[in-house]
Amino acid sequence: MKLDEKVVSHYESSDSPVDKEGYLYKKGEIKTSYQKRWCMLKGNLLFYKERPTDRDLTGVIVLEGCTVQLCESEEQFAFSLVWSEPGLRTYKFAAEDQDSQESWIKALLSANHSYLALLVMDLEKKYRGERLEEQLCESLLTDAPFVMPSFTAEPGFPAASCLSGQTSTLSSFPAQGAGAGPMLQALTVSSKTASKRSPKLWPKRSANVVPVNTPAPPLGEWSGVCFSSQEDFSKLHDDFGKEVKELIADWSRRGRGDDVVQEENLIDFG
Amino acid sequence: MRFNEKELVSLSRQPSEKAAELGMRGPKKGDVVKKRLVKLVVNFLFYFRIDEEEPIGALLLEQCRVEREDSQTFSIAFLDEAERKYLFECDSEEQCGEWVDAIIKASYEFMRKNLIFYRTEIHRLTGKDPLEQYGISDETRFQDCFTIKMTLFKENQPKTSEHLV
């Protein structure tokens, strides 16, 4: 199988963040002795070359599908990258001291794509919850009708396609499958019926920063920290709904006819 | 340059975010469009001859520009060089759009930027760093940009903080 090496080298030499770099002793692939190599971790790739100033890379290890383990070795402060499928490799490394060993193991353990994807998904969910709350507070302060916050900050944002009526291909709201459908539809309905009002507290974002659609998370160590999204959002919505209803009732009593939010605007999740 | 080929081939067999038969044209002059099974797994794009087990090749989707060439064609360009532009022909406008979207979002660097954005915003909204509960707020991976942003954020804070009922 070919790997476009120029692309890989370009990534290594680009100014994207380096997650960790330093010397490690790497057990040779042909010779079995440990050789000192300058290693650089970027994303889910571990690059290595003889010296930091070398232009040419000796090699790269794609860190997907492996575990990082302490290992038995004649070398001190050793650890290995293990692919457990038959026929796949184990790469052995040794660090210069214990701190370095621990630090490298920690960095390599969390280098895989899924780890980051799960983390982003989790933060995205928290963020949306906070924005919902912020928007509601703002509405209450300015006596305006509650408008479901438009999560659209940039074109290409998942919510943008949702608002225009297309169904998002991947669930932009973290959901384990079927739950995503009704939620996204509900967001569409709400934005169309409520009055148009751009969220004031929504500053311009840089073009690069657009929330991501992520693949369904693999179950594993992180399943514990991810919330049950559908339950949480429903409850949040109900709680806000109660507050809004009370406010509407209050406004009606005080005779503010103009901006009364219709009952129907509140999304019914059924 | 050495790379862990077997492990990468194994990765190409993993469940995929997206896989379809597309017309693919390589970056070199004289390359023609060929029908390939194109598969997106994490931040790699693998391409196979139809009905073959092992991929012909793999493209790392970092530091690349994904663009719509026309209604049904998209390109992935590396190094801003015309020579390294791969072309992909889809069956529909919709499919083309979905692929462009999926490839952009598959990039590790793209995800990292999103993480930093959410982290900063959640901190702004709640006063708390969301990564603290996971014990990873000091990780270099998310550190530098966040630290810079937080310094700027603190400098720009108004003196009064009471603005909620």
Total number of domains constituting chain B: 1
Burial readout A193-202 (b: 16 or more C-beta within 10 A, e: otherwise): ebeeeebeee
- CA torsion, ordered A48, A53, A54, A55, to nearest 10 deg: 100
**Secondary structure (3-state) at B41:** strand
Lowest mean pLDDT among A136-150, B122-136, B138-152: B138-152
Domain hosting A33: range is: 5-112
Q: Which of B47, B141, B164 to mutate to test the interface with A (most CBs of A within 10 A)?
A: B141
Contacts of B95 in chain A (CB under 8 A): none
DSSP for B136-149, written as a single string: -TT-HHHHHHHHHH
Q: Are A96 and A23 in contact (CB under 8 A)?
A: yes
User: Which has the closest alpha carbon to A162: A192, A135, A134?
Assistant: A192
Closest-CA distance of chain A to residue B13, Å? 11
B81 in a domain, yes or no?
A: yes
Contact B130 A11 (CB under 8 A): no
Task: Give domain status of residue B130, yes or no.
Answer: no
Percentage of chain A modeled with pLDDT above 70: 53
Task: For residue B84, give its domain range.
Answer: 7-111
The pLDDT score that the predictor gives to residue A267 is 63
Residue A170 located in a structural domain: no
CATH number, residue B34: 2.30.29.30
Q: What is the pLDDT of residue A32?
A: 83
Between residues A222 and B75, which one has the greater pLDDT? B75
Evaluate whether residue B116 is within a structural domain.
no
Least confidently predicted of A115-124, A188-197, B151-160? A188-197
Stretch A14-18: mean pLDDT, rounded? 91
pLDDT of residue A239: 64
CA angle A28, B63, A122 (to 5 degrees): 90
Can you name the residues that pair with A94 across neighbouring β-strands? Answer: A25, A78
Find where tokens 């390359």 sit.
B31
- Confirm whether B56 is domain-assigned: yes
Residue in B44, B55, B118 nearest the CB of A120:
B118
Q: What is the ipTM of this complex?
A: 0.85
C-alpha–C-alpha distance, residues B146 and B135, integer Å:
15
| CATH value at residue A61 | 2.30.29.30
3-state secondary structure of B163: coil
The shortest CB-CB distance from A3 to any of B8, B139, B165 is to B8
Lowest-pLDDT range of A160-164, A229-233, B40-44, B148-152: A160-164
Does residue A126 belong to any structural domain of this protein? Answer: no
Q: Is-contact A1 B57, C-beta < 8 A?
A: yes
Can you tell me the distance from the alpha carbon of A92 to that of A108, in angstroms, rounded to the nearest whole number? 13
Considering the domain boundaries, does residue A28 fall inside one? yes
Q: Is it the case that residue A188 has pLDDT exceeding 80? A: no
Tell me what percent of the residues of chain A surpass a pLDDT of 90. 40
The mean pLDDT of chain A is 70
Residue A239: inside a domain: no
The more confident residue out of B5 and A135 is B5
Q: Is residue A20 domain-resident?
A: yes
Tell whether A125 is covered by a domain: no
Of A47-56, A87-96, A145-154, where does mean pLDDT reach its minimum? A145-154
Q: Under an 8 A CB cutoff, do A1 and B8 touch?
A: yes
Report the pLDDT value the prediction gives residue A142, as an integer from 0 to 100: 81
Tell which phi-psi region holds residue A255, choosing left (phi > 0), alpha (psi between -120 and 50) or beta: left
Q: Is residue B35 assigned to a domain?
A: yes
Are the Cβ atoms of B7 and A89 closer than 8 angstroms? yes
Q: What is the rounded average pLDDT for all residues in chain B? A: 87
Facing B165 at nearest CB: one of A58, A140, A214: A140
Confidence of residue A61 (pLDDT cuts 50, 70, 90): very high
Q: Please give the pLDDT value at position A72.
A: 79
Residue type, A131: R
What's the pLDDT tens digit per position in B73-97?
A: 999 998 767 667 999 999 999 999 9
Domain count, chain A: 1
Give tens-digit pLDDT for B104-137.
999 999 999 999 999 999 999 999 999 988 888 8
pLDDT over 80 (residue A28): yes
| Position B69 confidence tier, pLDDT thresholds 50, 70, 90 | very high
**Does residue A13 lie in a domain region?**
yes
- Using a CB-CB cut-off of 8 Å, the residues of chain A touching B139 are 107, 110
In this predicted structure, what is the pLDDT of residue A238? 63
